[in-house]
Structure 1
């Protein structure tokens, strides 16, 4: 692999945003720093996620890292030490559903290590596709830092698995993460981009109102008792049932053609 010159590193943005049809790609582009979450990278993530949220041409986002070593190795410890950062502010890093609301699906394409803040980004994504060599770890206990963002982790993993990750700081493989339900699919590294893009396009081909309501439905039990969750779900899906798209789907099926979604 060719190491980029300092000039080329300085010239390119720390986080890139690109649209491929209905799929937006948000790429942390500091592979020479293991895609560490510097202030510049964090600002780029915020800007990219807001751009996706407001981009009517983008139906699904794929978040990934440049290179084949790291999705993100977490916070830039040298920068944090220089700034003597103590308690990170609530907006230090985007946390989907906590400090930024995006009703469209976000897929993490994990191309290497996802440690600490990198684990956070994967945890808060809606779906995760990982390369076979990817590793996941919550390493804060090894450097004396905190993980308040891990509070939802027992919703995704068995509590004792979450406890092991948090107390040891030790990594788990992509395969193990898939067995535990943290990862949806594991693929060879050279197929990661294609696999994540294919998943995104399959989702983007579906009725957009249904996709967005489905995303919100999945998290209801984490917020409400079952009876209340069902009531909220009924209200959530009512506009979908009353939409033009709810008539277009059956009509297209009857006429033997692909549906043309309007999103209303």
Structure 2
């Protein structure tokens, strides 16, 4: 990996088309304050602006993903919510680039909502998710109530949201929330392997797949196919589509140009 620009609370590293974004506040269990939210948003902006970066990975330092909002900072008037982008600058903004959450230790409250904002989740076997907000008289407005019932059975999501009980990673994997389980300490490595499998593919095709899948919920079946065809037509007519066919015929690796 090669180091990229860092801030006091967020580190980034680039590796063959993959940007690893690390929340680096282990002394606060990687809870997110305003500065951290702005740094995360800036890292995501770099991911989105660079054609050579194909996948992003979000993780936490010190064996913890994130304990969510930094309540001490919030009580002092420092908010980790960015207008138009939500908690930590990622829960409401959306990205065209695939995002993978690599979860070690705890992902609680906003930490779970950050993971839910990602397209895929890799987690250590001993990791724990949880929307504990009801214990404190509040609710999870940054994706917990919206995304969790879409990612696991509705009745299980309601149980977790209404009780505030923790969701162990192994149970989350059985429900389909977690793509891959790893031994403790290996979530980032497995996420890198998953990201590498994505980054080797044609950029236009990867972007089109994510867009169509994410936008599918907004359309009926008939309208979904119409919208899909509109998004996919430029991909099928692209240089990379022809290159993929030629590479297959010539039995060589394809050379993608993103056009």
1:21 corresponds to = 16
Provide the alpha-carbon RMSD of the alignment: 2.0
State how 1:75-154 maps to structure 2 within 5 Å: 75-83=69-77, 90-94=84-88, 99-148=92-141, 149=143, 150-154=145-149
- Distance, in Å, in 1 between the alignment partners of 2:151 and 2:217 is 10
What is the DSSP-based 3-state SS (H/G/I as helix, E as strand, rest coil) of the residue aligned with 1:102? coil
Superimposed CA distance per residue, residues 201-225 of structure 1 (whole angstroms, 9 cap, x where no aligned partner):
1100011111111111222332111
Mapped pair 1:188 → 2:189: no
Is 1:36–1:76's contact at 8 Å kept on the other side of the alignment? yes
Is 1:135–1:171's contact at 8 Å kept on the other side of the alignment? yes
Going from structure 1 to structure 2, the CA distance change for 1:187 and 1:95 (only over 3 Å counts) comes to: same
Structure 1 residue 94: deviation in Å? 4.8
What is the DSSP-based 3-state SS (H/G/I as helix, E as strand, rest coil) of the residue aligned with 1:201? helix
Superimposed CA distance per residue, residues 206-263 of structure 1 (whole angstroms, 9 cap, x where no aligned partner):
1111111111122233211121111111111111000011111111011010000111
Task: Give unpaired runs (5+ residues) of structure 1.
Answer: 1-10
Structure 1 residue 84: deviation in Å? 9.0
Q: TM-score, normalised by structure 2?
A: 0.91
2:215 corresponds to = 220
Of residues 43, 68, 75, the one that matches 1:74 is: 68
1:33 corresponds to = 28
Task: Give unpaired runs (5+ residues) of structure 2.
Answer: 1-5
Is 2:33–2:78's contact at 8 Å kept on the other side of the alignment? no
What is the DSSP-based 3-state SS (H/G/I as helix, E as strand, rest coil) of the residue aligned with 2:76? helix
- Distance, in Å, in 2 between the alignment partners of 1:102 and 1:203 is 15
Q: How many residues align?
A: 251
